[in-house]
């Protein structure tokens, strides 16, 4: 079992931020520093601007000095151009940093999710995981920008603006801030509200993508069972839920900057009343007063942004927690600490007293059999007998509760997963084809395959037979999951794949749905060719395969109940003879 997501230990905000910094942001320190310099530059320009109000009013407007007019105008122009340039540079740099960072997180997530066990993937459907990788990471992206911009530009702007305000009158500045302490309690309440909401919103978003994924993957059954309206309604209900949550969340997020507005309003009023007499008596110049109020006015925006930050952070924290959980998960099925080398040559397969339960249901109950090296062994048994489970155990998609499974004497858990899986080719009718071209589906990333080898494989797998009928030959797209091809064609593609992989062991899961006689004959020929010189284990449904097998292993309810050749088993009567009568109806 995977260590599932932990609900109880919610790391605090600082912990999450540190985790992000250590894991992802630290490696971008260089770029970050450059971006910060430009942000400082951008932020400080507001301070200069408000400071310029003093000479503008006192020397130009009141004093009427023409020289002052020129230099004040030039200075203001310089302030705006510097701000514009710095702003462009910092935005581009910031986008680069944040995209690099979220790119890293996405890649790490994908890498880790692909290693997790099948049980994990049964519990977390594809749509859910896609939402994690895309949606949750995106909300981190947002917080990056806000944190960095906040730290770099807005804090500097605030320091500069308050510097100007204090230089005019520190008592006025204090008076302007009188409302601040009143903000703390409601802001904290709103934060908690936003975070709780954000967690549910992320959940609903994941459910929404799961729905879509299910619908589009299952579009044919959806249509055939007339489920369009049903699926649409389920999606609609979730969408409504999401709308409610997003609206609530936006209220929570907007409320904090709203509080800051109220506080600023209070500040203005207090200063006007408190400092009003000094203004009226002329104790303060118009320039002083203007510089003070410009600084205060300009401080609004960065203050609001910093206020909004706490909301954005709460939303992101909910995502970061989830991402961290996924990244922290480790697969139960992993490489041994000291792996043994994979067996050389063509290994035989041995199962010794293997037990496996799913939940509390026993699936395999002391399964033992041998598939001899270089021979073909057929597994037969009623549906649910545990045949596919044997394949899953061999390829270590699951580990047994007890017993030993070995190839050429080396236990499957004694070698690395990579070495183990390199021993097998798996061919089945639903052998997954990817939505790429036929060529890519056959080569599966193998480079260095010569055209001659490829042609041989196509010929031997009888892919060459239907190739001329495809519009673009090997470069024809096979459609999602190979839906442009027929069952028999898909199987032949999988056989060509296996021929090129050229592994010593072949696991063959025959189609349960019957192919037409002609396809069956072609596929059978291709398979015969493929199994030459390999250890072949086949879940058999076809009479021909069963008859030709060197050995037949009969499974029933997770146990091997009989084994031998076709003739021996028929002669003995029992489960095989019954199955045979039932399935092939030829006795």
Binding site for ligand ADP (CB under 6 A): 122, 358, 363, 381, 383-389
Q: How far is the CB of 547 from ligand ADP (least distance, A)?
A: 20
Nearest to ligand ADP of 19, 355 (CB atom): 355
Q: In this complex, which beta carbon is closest to ligand ADP, that of residue 430 or of residue 456?
A: 430
Question: Does residue 409 come out as left (phi exceeding 0), alpha (psi in the -120 to 50 range) or beta?
Answer: left
Give the nearer residue to ligand ADP in terms of CB position, either 127 or 381.
381
CB 358, min distance to ligand ADP, A? 3
CB of 556 to ligand ADP, least distance (A): 10
Angstrom CA distances, 18 to 144, 188, 325, 542, stand at 13, 21, 15, 60
Min dist. Cβ of residue 357 to ligand ADP (A): 9
Give dist(CA 359, CA 368) in Å, integer. 22
- Min dist CB 380 to ligand ADP, Å, is 9
State the minimum distance, in angstroms, from the CB of residue 119 to ligand ADP: 7
**8 vs 383, beta carbon nearer ligand ADP:** 383
Which residue number, 387 or 551, has a Cβ lying nearer to ligand ADP?
387
Task: Decide if 160 contacts 299 (C-beta within 8 A).
Answer: no
Q: What pairing do the DSSP bridges indicate for beta strands 402-407 and 410-411?
A: antiparallel
Question: Which strands make up the sheet holding 424-428, listed edge to edge?
Answer: 424-428, 505-509, 535-539, 376-381, 551-556, 559-564
477 strand-pairing partners: 437
Query: Is there a contact between 323 and 109 (Cβ–Cβ < 8 Å)?
Result: yes
Nearer to ligand ADP, 117 or 154 (CB): 117
Q: Nearer Cβ to ligand ADP, position 333 or 373?
A: 333
Residue 401 and residue 354: Cα distance in Å, rounded?
8
3-state secondary structure of 341: coil
Cβ-based nearer residue to ligand ADP, 263 or 363: 363
State in angstroms the smallest separation of the CB of 30 from ligand ADP. 48
Q: Which is nearer to ligand ADP, 442 or 546 (CB)?
A: 546
DSSP state string for 432-451? PPPSSBHHHHHHTT-----H
Q: Three-class SS of residue 117?
A: coil
Nearer to ligand ADP, 139 or 545 (CB): 545
| Minimum distance from residue 385 beta carbon to ligand ADP (Å) | 4
CA distance 158 to 103: 32
Q: Minimal distance in Å, beta carbon 390 to ligand ADP?
A: 7
Of the candidates 272, 242, 246, 249, the one whose C-alpha atom is nearest the C-alpha of residue 194 is 249
Give backbone dihedrals phi and psi of 201, rounded to 5 degrees, phi first. Answer: -60, -45
Cβ density class 263-286: b for 16+ within 10 Å, e for less: bbebbeebbeebbeeebeeeebbb
What's the closest the beta carbon of residue 403 comes to ligand ADP, in angstroms?
15
CB of 554 to ligand ADP, least distance (A): 11
Q: Report in angstroms how near the CB of residue 493 gets to ligand ADP at its nearest.
A: 22
Contacting residues for 56 by C-beta, under 8 A, at least 6 apart: 72, 76, 287, 290
Backbone angles phi, psi at 184, to 5 degrees: -60, -50
Closest approach of Cβ 508 to ligand ADP, in Å?
A: 13
Which residue number, 68 or 561, has a Cβ lying nearer to ligand ADP? 561
3-state secondary structure of 204: helix
DSSP secondary structure string, 384-420?
Answer: TSSHHHHHHHHTTSS--SEEEEEETTEETTTS-HHHH
- C-beta atoms surrounding 87 within 10 Å: 17
Query: Tokens 């200069």 label which residue?
Result: 48
Give the separation between CA 351 and CA 345, rounded to whole angstroms.
Answer: 19
| Residue 380 token pair | 């037969």
3-state DSSP call for residue 353? strand
Which lies closer to ligand ADP via its Cβ, residue 320 or residue 363?
363
Q: Which is nearer to ligand ADP, 207 or 387 (CB)?
A: 387
């Amino acid at each position: 079992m995977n260590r599932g997501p932990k609900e109880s230990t919610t790391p605090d905000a600082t912990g999450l931020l540190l985790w992000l910094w250590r894991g992802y942001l630290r490696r971008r320190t260089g770029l970050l520093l450059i971006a910060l310099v430009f942000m400082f530059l951008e932020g400080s320009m507001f301070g200069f601007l408000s400071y310029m109000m003093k000479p503008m009013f006192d020397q130009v407007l009141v004093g009427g000095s023409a020289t002052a007019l020129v230099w004040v105008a030039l200075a203001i122009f310089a302030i705006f151009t510097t701000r514009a340039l710095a702003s462009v540079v910092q935005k581009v740099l910031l986008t680069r940093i944040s995209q690099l960072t979220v790119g890293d997180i996405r890649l790490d997530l994908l890498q880790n999710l692909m290693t997790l066990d099948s049980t994990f993937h049964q519990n977390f459907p594809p749509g859910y995981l896609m939402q994690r990788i895309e949606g949750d990471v995106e909300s981190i992206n947002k917080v990056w920008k806000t944190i960095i911009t906040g730290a770099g530009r807005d804090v500097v702007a605030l320091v500069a603006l308050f510097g100007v305000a204090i230089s005019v009158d520190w008592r006025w500045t204090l008076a302007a801030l009188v409302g601040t302490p009143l903000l703390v309690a409601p802001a904290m309440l709103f934060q908690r509200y936003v975070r709780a909401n954000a967690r549910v919103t992320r959940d609903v978003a994941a459910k929404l993508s799961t729905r879509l994924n299910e619908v589009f993957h299952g579009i044919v059954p959806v249509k055939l069972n007339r489920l369009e309206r049903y699926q649409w309604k389920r999606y609609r209900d979730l969408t409504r839920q999401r709308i409610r949550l997003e609206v609530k969340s936006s209220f929570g997020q907007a409320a904090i900057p709203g509080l800051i507005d109220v506080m600023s309003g209070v500040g203005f009023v207090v200063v006007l009343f408190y400092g009003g007499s000094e203004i009226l008596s002329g104790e303060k110049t118009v320039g002083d007063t203007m510089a003070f109020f410009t600084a205060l006015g300009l401080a609004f925006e960065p203050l609001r942004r910093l206020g909004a930050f706490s909301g954005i952070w709460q939303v992101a924290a909910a995502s970061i927690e989830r991402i961290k959980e996924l990244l922290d998960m480790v697969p139960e099925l992993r490489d041994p600490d000291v792996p043994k080398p994979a067996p050389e040559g063509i290994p035989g397969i041995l199962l010794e007293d293997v037990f496996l339960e799913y939940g509390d249901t026993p699936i395999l109950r002391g399964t033992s059999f041998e598939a001899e090296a270089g021979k073909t062994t057929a597994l037969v048994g009623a549906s649910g007998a545990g045949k596919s489970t044997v394949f899953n155990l061999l390829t270590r998609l699951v580990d047994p509760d007890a017993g030993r499974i070995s190839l050429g004497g080396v236990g499957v858990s004694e070698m690395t997963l990579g070495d183990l899986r390199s021993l097998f080719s798996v061919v089945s009718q639903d052998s997954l084809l990817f939505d790429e071209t036929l060529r890519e589906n056959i080569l599966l990333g193998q480079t260095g395959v010569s055209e001659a080898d490829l042609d041989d494989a196509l010929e031997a797998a009888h892919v060459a037979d239907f190739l001329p009928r495809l519009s673009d030959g090997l470069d024809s797209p096979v459609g999602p999951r190979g839906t442009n091809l027929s069952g028999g064609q898909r199987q032949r593609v999988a056989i060509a794949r296996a021929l090129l992989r050229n592994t010593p062991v072949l696991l063959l899961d025959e189609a349960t749905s019957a192919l037409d006689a002609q396809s069956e004959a072609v596929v059978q020929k291709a398979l015969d060719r493929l199994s030459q010189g390999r250890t072949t284990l086949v879940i058999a449904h076809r009479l021909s395969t069963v008859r030709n097998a060197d050995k037949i292993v009969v499974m029933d309810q997770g146990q091997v109940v009989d084994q031998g050749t076709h003739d021996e088993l028929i002669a003995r009567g029992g489960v095989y003879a019954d199955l045979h009568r039932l399935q092939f109806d030829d006795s």
